Amino acid sequence: MIRGGLLLAGLLLSLTGALSAHEVQHTVEQSAAVAIRLTYADGTPFAFEAFELYPEGEDRPSQVGRTDDQGRVLFLPGETRHWRIKAFSADGHGVDLPIALSVMTAADEARSVDDGFNGDGPNRASLLLFGVSILLALFGAYQLWLKRRS
């Protein structure tokens, strides 16, 4: 009986690597982002249109993509304060604008993002340890049940 329980526990442990083979890791970070909202002349959002974002003096964009449904482009400027955005639609509408950002102090940034949630979830090692402890607890409970039954 014990051999069957050990065999089952070994089988379950051997599957842990296969279960995380297609796992996608994520991290949530909060910081001061810049939002640029683009609209057509009539106020309609410049939604789902292509854009390129260039740091000052660069010929290669640091970010490319599409605006969201509100016509917004969101990015983290870092230390760079001067940017250029190029946004364009298939029908020829578009902009090529320089963007100058004001300097935000560390205190301003801390006030804007401090909500008490850091966004870090459990890492792989703690999840593995938690899973193994559950398996050991179940195995121990099963052994106690067997011992009391006989």
pLDDT digits (tens, 9 = 90+) for 48-105: 999 999 999 999 999 999 999 999 999 998 888 999 999 999 998 899 999 998 876 5
Q: Are residues 92 and 37 both part of a single domain?
A: yes
Q: Write down the pTM of the prediction.
A: 0.55
**Segments forming the whole domain that contains residue 38:** 33-103
Tokens of 81: 């304060």
Same domain, 98 and 37: yes
Measured CA to CA in angstroms, residue 136 lies from 4, 8, 101, 123, 142 at distances of 14, 12, 56, 20, 10
Q: Residue 46: how many CB atoms within 10 A of its CB? A: 21
Q: Is residue 111 part of a domain?
A: no
